[in-house]
Amino acid sequence: MTSQRTRERLIQRLYEEGLSNARVLEAIRRTPRHLFVDEALAHRAYEDTALPIGSNQTISQPYMVARMSELLLAAGPLDKVLEIGTGSGYQTAILAQLVERVFTVERIQGLQDRAKERLSELNLRNVVFRWGDGWEGWPALAPYNGIIVTAAASEVPQALLEQLTPGGRLVIPVGAGDVQQLLLIVREEHGFSQHVLDAVRFVPLLNGPLA
């Protein structure tokens, strides 16, 4: 179930669902998603579905990873991206193949440690990790020309807006419970523009780091 043919079927499905960024699709084709899930779930790694990764967290479905990556890159190449919610490291690995540098924040230390190991195995060296509260972003290294959030915030965190460069793009699910919307927010010369995109379902973005 981890064969190249299985991966090709996933890529074909994503293409049929309207995803068309060749670089994003190629990054998903190249990335061994089975390494980012427990061995017992490896046979499901190339299904277009979210899967549990422990600690009440999930690895996002490939469609959503591709969709959010496309939205982030839609205005052109990015050199400095902040990811909130490292999780398994799968979205991180995709981003690392698409942008110059990825700065990723995770509140659950055990998840982050395993993600570091996986990215090291894949020789992805342009990622810097921080264990901390995603609501705060990573102000010491701001600003970023792209920010991607892989958990649903009850509202758009002000700190993340402040850490965007002019023209920078924030892709974030917002909402409580089952009512969540994927938003694209762009920092304009005077304020922010906000675009409401898809209805989505993510785990909640929680406060505070956990060892």
Q: Which positions are catalytic?
A: 60
* C-alpha span between 169 and 186 (Å, rounded): 5
Residues 6+ apart with CB under 8 A from 107: 131, 132, 133, 134, 206, 208, 209, 210
Residue 194 backbone phi and psi in degrees, to 5 = -130, 130
3-state SS class at 57: strand
3-state secondary structure 137-204: CCHHHCCEEEEEECCEECCCCHHHHHCEEEEEEEEEEEEECCEEEEEEEEEECCEEEEEEEEEECCCE
How many other C-beta atoms are found inside a 10 Å radius of the C-beta of residue 188? 11
At a CB cut-off of 8 Å and minimum separation 6, what does 184 contact? Answer: 71, 169, 170, 171, 194, 195, 197
CB 141 within 8 A of CB 159: no
